[in-house]
Structures are given as structure tokens and as C-alpha cells.
Amino acid sequence: MKALSLAIARGLPAWRPRLNDLRGWVVPLLLLALLETLVRTGVLPSHQMPAPSQVAQTLYLLAQSGELWRHLSASLLRVGAGFVIGAALAIVIGTWVGLSRRAEAYLEPTFQALRAIPSLAWVPLLLLWLGIDETPKIVLIALGAFFPVYLALLAGIRNIDRKLVEVGQLYGLPPLTLVRRILLPAALPSLFTGLRGALSLSWMFLVAAELIAATRGLGYLLSDGRETSRPDLVIAAILLLALLGKLSDSLLKTWENRALRWRDSYQGGEGGA
């Protein structure tokens, strides 16, 4: 307790924040240097664990041949479409179930049961029904994105302070206006938590879908690398997935911070308490 208040009272010198931003790079850079040394000195066999420099070269060659963009755009389109469709459906249905006890009574048990099915179990069925082109992949990603958003929004709506809803009733707001002006804004923090969970799941399901049947995309790059015994290709694809996942999450987080500027919640303190 004392340490915490000290940390708050002391304040931080002006140059600290900029240095703080760089702290996250220390561990990965050290690991990369260590790995490069181990591979170059022959401690690790390079046909199994390529040196970081070799992975960088593979990425460069992919980019130069235009292959990289082909795979990236395919994956981005799939994730984008699947995520948007799944999240939009979840927002509509989540709001409806959140508002109406009757809708909840009819729909909740079904959704609970559907949720219990590991989403990857749908893959064979989707392939049988929808073939092997884009549709089953997007449906699978949408399926993965649906549940986090639906659950978070439902919980968010049910946690709204009844006192705020009462203000809406006082002004005689019709149901849809009540949703737009009070319920959705109040549930926005939960909704964003759900959206961010859904986005990371979307990337996961993208890989699953592309590993199984694809001729383009990062998942295809992964399986191609395995089939042609090229670990550098696999690692390059993994790096790209990490980069895209982080980038898309940062975008969503920026949007979240902007939309939730009004929130009055604890943001964490500097140093340990």
C-alpha cells in the first residue's frame, strides 16, 4: 500500500515514458541474437531451426515475387469478412436476447449447446456442405467470432445499471431508442472485450481453415512449408500471423480507447504494489 502511494506521489521524469516504450523489445532482441549465434555455430541444426537472418531472407524473397501480398490479401479478406459477419450477427442477436427474457428462454439453451461444440468440429461438415472455396472458410471464421461477442454483449447488457435504464423509461423512450441511446453505449465496454476476443479467435480459425483446404493464404504457406520441408517458410508465416494479429488488435484497441474515453476506471499503476 505504501509502495503504491509512493509510486504515485513521486512522479516520473520526462524522459522515462519514451524509454519505457522500448522496454518490451529487450527480451525478443536478446532471444533473436542468441538463436542466430546458436544456429551459426552449429549447435542447432539449420535444416530444423533456420537462423533468423534466413527467415528474413525468405520473407524478402516472398515479398519480391509478389507471393507475399497474394497470401496476405487472401487471409486478410477472409478474416475481415468472417469477423464482420460473425460480430454483426452477434450484436443483433445478443441485443435481442439481452433485452427480452422470452428470446432468452427460447434461444439461450440452443446457443449454450452450440457453444459447447468445439468450432473446429464444424470443419468437415462445412466442407461437405459448402465445398472448398471461400464460403466455408468465412463461415467457420464467422462462427468463431460469433460467440465471444454474443456472450460479452449479453453479459454487458445484463450488467447495466437499472437506474440508467429507468432514466430512459422516464423520458418514455421507445425500445429501439432505448437500445441505441442507453443499452448499447452502457454495454460498450463489454462489447469491446468481446470484439477483441473474437478477433484473435478469427485468426485462429483462419489458420485452421487454410491448413485444411486452401491454395492461398498464410495457413497455406504453413502447410506448404511443412510439405516441402522448409522450416524457414513455416516460421515466416508464423511471424506474419503474429504481426497481423497484433496489428489488428492494436487497431481495435485504439478504437476502444477512443470510444470509451468517458470510462472512469482504474488504469493500473506504475511499478509493483
Q: Residues in the site for another protein, rule: CB under 8 A?
A: 163-164, 166-167, 169-172, 181-182, 185-186, 188, 261-264
**Smallest gap, in angstroms, from Cβ of residue 262 to another protein?**
4
Q: Which three cell numbers stand for residue 77?
A: 479478406
With residues binned 3-state (H G I as helix, E B as strand, rest as coil), the percentages for the chain, rounded to 5, are 80, 0, 20
- Whether 186 contacts 164, CB under 8 Å: yes
Q: Least distance from C-beta 176 to another protein, angstroms?
A: 13
For another protein, give the closer residue by CB, 155 or 188: 188
| Cβ-based nearer residue to another protein, 213 or 259 | 259
Buried b (16+ CB within 10 A) or exposed e, 45-65: eeeebbbbebbeebbeebeee
- Least separation in angstroms between CB 109 and another protein: 29
CB 208 within 8 A of CB 220: no
In this complex, which beta carbon is closest to another protein, that of residue 23 or of residue 163? 163
As a whole number of angstroms, the distance between CA 161 and CA 148 comes to 22
Q: Evaluate whether 209 touches 140 at the Cβ level (below 8 Å).
A: yes
Kindly state the smallest distance separating residue 271's Cβ from another protein, in Å: 25
Q: In the complex with another protein, which residue's Cβ is closer, 32 or 186?
A: 186
